[in-house]
Every structure is written in C-alpha cells, then in structure tokens.
C-alpha cells in the first residue's frame, strides 16, 4: 500500500512540475545591465556587442535626451519573420540605453515574449541566447508575466483587439507601389510620422518600417513622448517599447492597433487612475490616423 501511495505521489509531483514548467511566465523586457557610465560611450559599446553576435543595426532613435534606442535585426530574425504570418512585426530587436539618475540601463525586448505575442513560427530562443551573450540578462521585467499560450491569444480585455486585428492603413496597386508610398509619406513627415528604420523580409513581399511619432497641441495624443510619459513611470525604463511599426505586406499597409501594441508591452497597466490607460484613451485613434496619413491612406 505504501509503495502504491508513493507511486501516486511521484506521479502527482511529476505532473505538478510539468505543469509549472509548461506555465513558465514570460515578461516583455529584459534588463541587460545597469550601472555608472557615460550614455554616448554605452551606446557605442552596445552597438559593438550586438554586432559581435551577428546583429545588424537597422536604425537608431533618440526620443528623449537621455534615451537612445537601437533597432537591430539578424538572419535568424528575418528568416523567422519570413515563415510567419505578418512576421515582419517581429523581424527586429529593440534595445534601449537610458540614463536614469546616475546610472545607465541597457534593456531590450524579450525575443521569446515577442515571438509568442506575435504568433511567430519559431520561439526565438536562439536570438534570446545571442542577446544575452551581447548585453546580459540581469532580470526580466515589465509585467507579472504571461504564459506562452496566453500570449499567443492575448488581448487586454473583452472587446479589444488581438494580434490578428491590425488596422489597414492604405492599399496600393502593388507591393512596390506600397513601399514607395510609405517611403514618400515618411520622408514628408505626414501625420507627424518619420522613418527610423526599414527591414525587408527575404523571399516575401513584406517590409517593416519603424517610425517616430511627434505631435503637439490637439495632436499630442499620438506623440511618443506624451504616451511614454504616461505609461513608462517605473524605475526600470521600458523605452524599448519604441519605435512603433508600419508593415507593408503585399499591396496593403498595416499597423497593430494601439490597444494591442501598447498593451502587449504594458499588460499590467491599470485601466484607471494615475499612469493608466484612461490617460491615453485618445491615443489609439490618434496613432491610427497619423499612421494612415504617413502610409498614404485616407482618414
């Protein structure tokens, strides 16, 4: 009888451990390092470390005086994007270098979190290993954590958008015309939106653009600084949320709707109160309209 009880206990423990492992929680950001230093020097050393691991700089962005964001890609990222539906949204890694008080924080988007949130074919664990080799991994942060299965079916709450509900910004006669139209709109700064980077997905009619958004007055709700000032308020900075993306896929131009795109990086942000979604309630539509203008579409 005792041996039977022990057997059942062992089976129960195995299932419990298996379940815990299966439900490992993922967080959106990874803190690579923090400590004293010079911002410009840390940006340069970060670029060098990423290059040593095979990452290629697609573009950089300084949304705030004490923040520089580096956007990199790699063969592994682009190949996974090519194999995934709307995979261009996950064809890059965003890295932020922030001066916070007397220390420099280097953080980046968690590749495994992103792969699941964007329903990509591969889990990008190989990319995560290279990012850790380049920049370190002190801790994951930015949320209590979500399982891979929850991320693949994520939406903030009932009635809000999933990954599969992007906004269609514009439609052209061909892929080439769509890319040309977006390039022209970004060069002209239409809607207050300008180009940070461009990544072409191999073997596929798909191109992703990273964009900076700047607005003032009545147009402030789409402004990167305005939005981040409301939602990125904790000691560890989540600046690697930026920049936003515009995706050309075939002859159409898309963007993830902000109620998904913002929420996926800040899933624990409260709906109401100080530093909450209610304070940026006007931002999703403001962003959609600005990106539509930049893409050459009509409001």
Q: Outline where DSSP puts E strands in the chain.
A: 29-35, 56-64, 67-73, 93-100, 103-109, 139-141, 167-171, 193-200, 206-213, 244-249, 252-255
CB 150 within 8 A of CB 261: no
Phi-psi map region of 218: left, alpha, beta (phi>0 left; psi -120 to 50 alpha): alpha
Q: What is the pLDDT of residue 23?
A: 64
Q: What is the pTM for the complete model shown?
A: 0.91
CA-based diameter of the chain, in Å?
79
N-term to C-term CA, the chain: 73
Strand partners of residue 70: 60, 95
Q: What is the pLDDT of residue 14?
A: 46
Name the residue ranges covered by the structural domains of the chain: 26-294
Q: What is the pLDDT of residue 299?
A: 87
**Which class would CATH give 26-294?**
alpha beta
Per-residue pLDDT of the chain (299 residues; tens, 9 = 90+): 444 444 444 444 444 444 444 469 999 999 999 999 999 999 999 999 999 999 999 999 999 999 999 999 999 999 999 999 999 999 999 999 999 999 999 999 999 999 999 999 999 999 999 999 999 999 999 999 999 999 999 999 999 999 999 999 999 999 999 999 999 999 999 999 999 999 999 999 999 999 999 998 889 999 999 999 999 999 999 999 999 999 999 999 999 999 999 999 999 999 988 888 899 999 999 999 999 999 999 98
Q: What is the pLDDT of residue 274?
A: 84
Strand partners of residue 244: 211
């Amino acid at each position: 009888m005792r041996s039977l009880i022990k057997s059942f206990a062992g089976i129960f423990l195995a299932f419990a451990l298996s379940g815990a492992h299966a439900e490992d929680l993922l967080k959106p950001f990874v803190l690579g390092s923090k400590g004293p230093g010079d911002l410009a020097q840390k940006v340069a050393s970060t670029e060098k470390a990423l290059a040593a691991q095979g990452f290629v700089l697609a573009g950089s962005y300084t949304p705030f005086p004490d923040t520089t964001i580096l956007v990199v890609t790699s063969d592994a990222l682009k190949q996974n994007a090519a194999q995934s539906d709307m995979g261009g949204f996950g064809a890059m890694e965003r890295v932020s270098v922030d001066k916070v008080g007397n220390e420099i924080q280097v953080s980046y988007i968690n590749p495994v979190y992103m792969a699941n949130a964007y329903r990509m074919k591969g889990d990008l664990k190989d990319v995560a290993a290279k990012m850790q080799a380049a920049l370190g991994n002190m801790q994951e942060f930015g949320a209590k954590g979500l399982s891979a299965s929850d991320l693949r079916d994520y939406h903030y709450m009932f009635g809000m958008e999933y990954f599969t509900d992007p906004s269609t910004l514009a439609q052209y006669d061909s892929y080439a015309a769509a890319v040309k139209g977006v390039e022209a709109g970004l060069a002209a700064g239409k809607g207050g939106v300008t180009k940070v980077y461009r990544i072409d997905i191999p073997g596929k009619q798909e191109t992703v653009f990273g964009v900076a958004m700047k607005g003032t007055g009545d147009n402030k709700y789409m402004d990167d600084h305005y939005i981040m000032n409301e939602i990125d308020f904790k000691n560890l900075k989540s600046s690697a949320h930026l920049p936003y993306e515009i995706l050309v896929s075939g002859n159409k131009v898309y963007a993830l709707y902000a109620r998904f795109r913002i929420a996926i990086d800040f899933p624990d942000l409260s709906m109401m109160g100080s530093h909450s979604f209610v304070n940026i309630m006007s931002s999703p539509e403001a962003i959609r309209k600005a990106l539509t203008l930049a893409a050459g579409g009509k409001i």
